[in-house]
Structure 1
Amino acid sequence: MPISEFVKDQPVDTNPLSLKIQTVLPQLKSLQNNQETSMKYLQKSYRDHERTMIEQLRQLIYSMFVNNDNKHKQAELNLKINSILVDFEKSTLKEMRNELISQKDSLSKSIHTCTILQNDLTHFHDFIQQIEGNKELCFTAVMKCEPIILQAFTVLGKLDKVFTVKGKYEHNVKIPSDPSECLIRAITVLPDGKILVADFNNKNVKLLDQQYHVVTHCDMTAQPLDICHITHSEVAVAVVDNRNAHEVQFITVNQSQLVKSRRLQLEHRCRAIAHQHGDMFICTGTALIKYTLSGRLVSNIYEDRSGVRTVCRCAVSPSGDMMYITNWDHHKLLTLARDGTVLATYTDPHLQRPRGLHVTPAGQVLVCGWWSSTIQQVDWEGKSKLATIATRERNGVVFPESFCYSSSTSHIIVGQWDNNILVFTVE
Structure 2
Amino acid sequence: MSPVWLFFRRCLQVTPLPQAASGKSTNFKNLSVSTENTLSQMKHCQTYQENIMMSLKVSYKEHERLIVDDLRVSIVSYLRECETSTVNTTHKHMQYPISEMREEIKYLLADFETSTIKEKKEELNLKQAPLKVVRDSCIRLQYELFHLHVAIPKVLGKELSFIAGKKCLENIQQSDIFIKENFSNKVFTVNGKSVHNVKMPSDLVYCHITAVCALPNGQVLVSDRMNYKVKLLNQQYRVVSHLHVRHEPLDMCLITPTEVAVAVHDEVQFITVSQSKLAKGRKLKLQHECTGIAHNQGDLYICSPTALYKFTLRGELDCRLYEDTSANLTVYKCAVSTTGDRLYIISPEQNKLLTLARDGTLLATYTDPALGWPHGLHVTPAGQVLVCGRWSNTVQQVGWEGESKLATLATEEDGVWMPLSVCYSSITSSIIVGQYWDDNILVFRVE
What is the TM-score normalised by the length of structure 1?
0.65
Name the structure 1 match of 2:80: none
Distance, in Å, in 1 between the alignment partners of 2:379 and 2:324 is 22
What is the aligned counterpart of 1:356 among 376, 398, 403?
A: 376
What is the aligned counterpart of 2:396 among 376, 389, 392?
A: 376
Higher deviation after alignment, 223-232 or 151-160: 151-160
- What code does the residue aligned with 1:303 have? E
- 5 Å matches for 1:390-405? 390-392=410-412, 394-405=413-424
Q: CA deviation at 1:192?
A: 1.6
Name the structure 1 match of 2:407: 387
Is it true that 1:153 corresponds to 2:183 in the alignment? no
Q: What does the per-residue CA deviation read over 1:65-93, in whole Å, with 9 as the maximum and x for residues that have no partner?
A: xxxxxxxxxxxxxxxxxxxxxxxxxxxxx
What is the aligned counterpart of 2:329 among 270, 289, 309?
A: 309
Q: CA deviation at 1:329?
A: 1.0
Distance, in Å, in 1 between the alignment partners of 2:418 and 2:332 is 16
Name the structure 1 match of 2:299: 279
Distance, in Å, in 2 between the alignment partners of 1:190 and 1:320 is 20
What is the aligned counterpart of 2:236 among 211, 217, 220?
A: 211
Contact map agreement 1:158 1:362 (CA 8 A) in 2: yes
Name the structure 2 match of 1:170: 195
What is the aligned counterpart of 1:337 among 357, 360, 368?
A: 357
State how many pairs are aligned.
297
- 5 Å matches for 1:12-27? none
- 5 Å matches for 1:224-243? 224-240=249-265
Name the structure 2 match of 1:194: 219
3-state DSSP class of the match of 1:153? helix
- What code does the residue aligned with 2:427 have? S
Name the structure 1 match of 2:338: 318
Distance, in Å, in 2 between the alignment partners of 1:293 and 1:340 is 19
Name the structure 1 match of 2:430: 411
Given the superposition, is the C-alpha separation of residues 185 and 258 from structure 1 closer, same or farther in structure 2, using an over 3 Å criterion? same
Distance, in Å, in 2 between the alignment partners of 1:413 and 1:161 is 18
Q: CA deviation at 1:111?
A: 8.4
Given the superposition, is the C-alpha separation of residues 111 and 155 from structure 1 closer, same or farther in structure 2, using an over 3 Å criterion? farther
Q: CA deviation at 1:310?
A: 0.6
Identity %: 56
What is the aligned counterpart of 1:115 among 140, 145, 150?
A: 145
What is the TM-score normalised by the length of structure 2?
0.62
Name the structure 1 match of 2:283: 263
Given the superposition, is the C-alpha separation of residues 407 and 303 from structure 1 closer, same or farther in structure 2, using an over 3 Å criterion? same
Q: CA deviation at 1:153?
A: 2.2
Distance, in Å, in 2 between the alignment partners of 1:228 and 1:289 is 15
Contact map agreement 1:32 1:114 (CA 8 A) in 2: no
The structure 1 segments of at least 4 consecutive aligned residues displaced by more than 2 Å after TM superposition are: 30-39, 109-119, 148-159
Q: Which runs of 5+ in 1 are unaligned?
A: 1-29, 40-108, 120-147, 241-245
3-state DSSP class of the match of 2:199? coil
3-state DSSP class of the match of 1:262? strand
Q: CA deviation at 1:297?
A: 0.3
RMSD in angstroms over aligned alpha carbons? 2.8
Q: Which runs of 5+ in 2 are unaligned?
A: 1-29, 40-138, 150-172
Q: What does the per-residue CA deviation read over 1:146-177, in whole Å, with 9 as the maximum and x for residues that have no partner?
A: xx979942377754111111111100000111
Distance, in Å, in 2 between the alignment partners of 1:191 and 1:33 is 25
3-state DSSP class of the match of 2:216? coil
- What code does the residue aligned with 1:163 have? F
Q: What does the per-residue CA deviation read over 1:285-334, in whole Å, with 9 as the maximum and x for residues that have no partner?
A: 11110101110001111111111111111000000000101011110101
Contact map agreement 1:36 1:111 (CA 8 A) in 2: no
Contact map agreement 1:153 1:159 (CA 8 A) in 2: no
- What code does the residue aligned with 1:266 have? L
3-state DSSP class of the match of 2:223? strand
- What code does the residue aligned with 2:402 have? G
Given the superposition, is the C-alpha separation of residues 111 and 219 from structure 1 closer, same or farther in structure 2, using an over 3 Å criterion? farther
